[in-house]
Amino acid sequence: MPHSKRWALDPVMMMFAALAVAIALTWVIPSGEYQRKGGSETALVVPGTYQQSAKLVSLDALWPAPSKTGSGKTESSQPAVIVPVSPAALVTAIPAGLAKSSGLIFMILLLGGMFGVLRTSGALDAGIERLLAITGGRLGVVTPVVMIAVSAGSTFLGLISEYLLIIPIVVALAERMGRSRLYGFAMLTLAAKVGYLASVTNPVALLIAQPIVGVPVFSGALFRFVVWCLLLALAIGVVLRLGHSNTHQEVACNDTPLSKRHLTVLLIVGITVGLLIYGSSALGWRDLQFASLFVVSGVAMGIAADMTPRAGAHAFVDGMKSMMLAALLIGMARGVELVLRDGHILDTIIAWASGHVAHLPAVIVAPLVMGFEMFLTLLIPSTSAKAALSIPILAPIAASAGVSGQTTVLAFLFGNGLVNMFAPTSGMLLAYLATANIGYGTWFRFVLPLFLFFTVVCIAATMLAVVLSY
């Protein structure tokens, strides 16, 4: 076995390592909690109410109590005496995480089933051929158009899980243009991540974060729009450079018109994408509704492609099988968060950080808030849960140093978006990678230099925001 293959970053092993680290932290970090305004994981904490709890560190904690580890309880149900999370959580947290993420997992499995039907129909390959014929296979046309469209959906509408639907399409498009799978994956993923990072009018982030700091929802969009344009231009340039460095072949375009069957199947795909966007933004659809939509779409595609029921069912099941790794990784990532919550150490980390950013100059506090949000994103990839936990604590401290609420939200968005470009605990990123059949190590080596450069740009942007009294 080649040395590089032997030491490649395997996502399942990385998740086991993350679980082990999370368990170890519950043994060394004191436990405590803030009071909350509700009982859910996204309930807002009450600033100034942190209290450290008694923690019993003993050999008895090596064996899990029936009510511990993987229960998914929030800090509001904290017992009188805390015990560290048992090492047995290395395995028990996985099924617990799978259960807590069941909605997302079902959605991804059924998405794979729908794509199994789409691929078997032949419409995907035919559609890509037609697109290449229209554009002449020119990277300079296809890449910016795809990236601007994807990033706009992310930054203006908050789309992210919805893009799982088109990852195989974009990857197949890149391969047909003679580029690597990584090129197609980067084309979509960087665009989506940059959009989420800037969050010009992203309702998922802003509807929670901005009311906490007392500024109107969607206000301050112009500054974020400028940041989005800058970062997206840089991302497009990086992807185009990657495309020119891994050309495999010249593209010979087939100008054959689409058949009626293929056109009907692709029309169903377009309708599905439209329903995803409308359902999530206007009807409040979430994972289970999306999953149901994928089942209906898969059946409709099979009928449109004139498949027999047996062939359609086999194609659907084969597609679901291709998503099994993604489902496992999502459950393991959620298990890491459950371990940290069961150990009651997240509030302690927040309290410690808040005490170290006070009494510093505003131009320093803003990047520090961003840096802390970056660290917290490794522990809690969820944007809404992280906002409810951290912003109520950090915002008043930042304000006492002269940092406006708007800039605090900006620092939160940057910290959240930057780390989610590569966070090994992000179930959604792992699902992206599994859907595209891209190794985590391959993506990490590609995105790390860009992450570091983007971090410098975002630090400069937060400091500029302070100077401009944003």
Confidence bin at 125 (pLDDT 50/70/90): confident
> Could you tell me the pLDDT band of residue 389, with boundaries at 50, 70 and 90?
confident
pLDDT digits (tens, 9 = 90+) for 40-69: 666 677 777 888 888 877 776 666 554 444
The amino acid present at 336, given as its one-letter code, is: V
Q: Is the pLDDT of residue 369 over 90?
A: yes
The CA-based angle 330-336-338, given to 5 degrees, is: 100
Higher-pLDDT residue of 45, 376 = 376
pLDDT of 255:
64
Q: Report residue 333 CA to chain centroid gap.
A: 11
Residue spans of alpha helices (H) in 214-259: 221-245
pLDDT value at position 1?
Answer: 44
Q: Which residues, including other chains, have CB under 8 Å from residue 402's CB and lie 6 or more apart?
A: 361, 362, 365, 466
Residue range 170-195, pLDDT digits in tens: 898 888 888 899 999 999 999 999 99
Segment 412-426 mean pLDDT: 92
For the chain, give the mean pLDDT.
Answer: 84
CA 450/CA 455 separation, integer angstroms: 8
Burial of 245 (0-12, 13-18, 19+ CB in 10 A): exposed
Q: State residue 427's pLDDT score.
A: 77
* Residue position matching structure tokens 């940057």: 414
pTM for this predicted structure: 0.77
What kind and span of H or E run contains 52?
Answer: strand 51-52
Q: Is the pLDDT of residue 197 over 90?
A: yes
The predicted pLDDT at position 15 comes to 83
Whether residue 3 has pLDDT greater than 50? no
**C-beta of residue 420 within 8 angstroms of C-beta of residue 160:** no
Residue corresponding to tokens 């092993």: 13
Give the pLDDT score at 73: 46
pLDDT of 161 higher than 80: no
Q: d(Cα 21, Cα 61) in Å, to the nearest integer?
A: 16
SS3 call for 158: coil
Furthest-apart CA atoms within the chain: distance in Å:
72
Flag whether pLDDT at 74 surpasses 50: no
Which whole-number Å values give the CA distances from 69 to 58, 78, 439, in the listed order? 16, 13, 30
- Residue 32: DSSP 8-state: E
Q: Specify the pLDDT at position 41.
A: 60
Mean pLDDT for 107-123 is: 86
Q: Of 25-34, 116-125, 129-138, which gets the smallest average pLDDT?
A: 129-138
What pairs with residue 55 in β-bridges?
Answer: 82
Report pLDDT for 69.
Answer: 47
DSSP 429: H
pLDDT confidence band for 79 (50 / 70 / 90): low
pLDDT value, residue 127 = 80
Burial tier of 93 (Cβ tally within 10 Å: 0-12, 13-18, 19+): buried
Contact between 348 and 52 under an 8 Å Cβ cutoff? The reply is yes
Measured in whole angstroms, the distance separating CA 465 from the mean position of its chain's CA atoms is 26
Cα end-to-end span (Å), the chain = 55
CB contact set of 255 (below 8 Å; sequence gap of 6+): 133
Q: What percent of the chain has pLDDT over 70?
A: 89
Query: Phi-psi region for residue 8, left (φ > 0), alpha (ψ -120 to 50) or beta?
Result: beta
Distance from C-alpha of 56 to C-alpha of 114, rounded to nearest angstrom: 50
Give the pLDDT confidence of 223-250 residue by residue, as tens digits. Answer: 999 999 999 999 999 999 987 765 555 5
Residue 369's closest CA among 467, 470, 450, 458?
Answer: 458
Does the structure show a pLDDT above 70 at 363?
yes
- Kindly report, residue by residue over 277-327, the tens digit of the pLDDT: 788 777 878 788 888 999 999 999 999 999 999 999 999 999 888 788 878
Question: Considering the chain, what percentage of its residues have pLDDT values greater than 90?
Answer: 33
| Own/partner long-range contacts of 185-188 (Cβ < 8 Å, ≥24 apart) | 185/432, 185/433, 185/436, 185/438, 185/443, 186/238, 186/239, 186/242, 186/446, 186/447, 187/143, 187/146, 187/147, 187/239, 188/146, 188/147, 188/150, 188/163
Identify the band that residue 107 occupies on the pLDDT scale cut at 50, 70 and 90: confident
Q: Mean pLDDT across the stretch 74-90?
A: 71
Span 427-435, mean pLDDT?
83
